[in-house]
Amino acid sequence: KNEVEQSPQNLTAQEGEFITINCSYSVGISALHWLQQHPGGGIVSLFMLSSGKKKHGRLIATINIQEKHSSLHITASHPRDSAVYICAVRSGAQKLVFGQGTRLTINP
């Protein structure tokens, strides 16, 4: 079993829909990251959180430390949100442990 599990692995939705991607982890962590990877490979950091909730534009990330679970929400989804979303946790000082990613496709 992977230390970081994401669901769903693939998600297709219509423009405007509310999107939720989930991440569960099995290790103690100091921080959790949500990353976005567009076709072509480059990865950008969306959020870094250790408790509670963060919001940036149409994106919201929440984390429940007791349940070892985090969610990434996208409101009013748009085709440009189509990407792979990756959850990663930092359990030690140096290394990140990554989930397998969720491929999101938003159709116009």
Query: Nearer to another protein by C-beta: 41 or 57?
Result: 41
Minimum Å gap between C-beta 74 and another protein is 21
Contacts 24+ apart (CB under 8 A), 66-69: 68/24, 68/25, 68/26, 68/29, 69/22, 69/23, 69/24, 69/25
Residue type, 106: I
Closer to another protein by CB, 13 or 31: give it. Answer: 31
Residues that bind another protein (CB under 8 A): 30-31, 33, 35, 40-45, 48, 50, 86, 88, 90, 93-96, 98-101
- For the bound state, the minimum distance from the C-beta of residue 75 to another protein, rounded and expressed in Å, comes to 24
Q: How far is the CB of 1 from another protein (least distance, A)?
A: 14
Tokens of 27: 């290790």
Sign of the dihedral defined by the CA atoms of residues 8, 11, 13, 17, in that order: positive
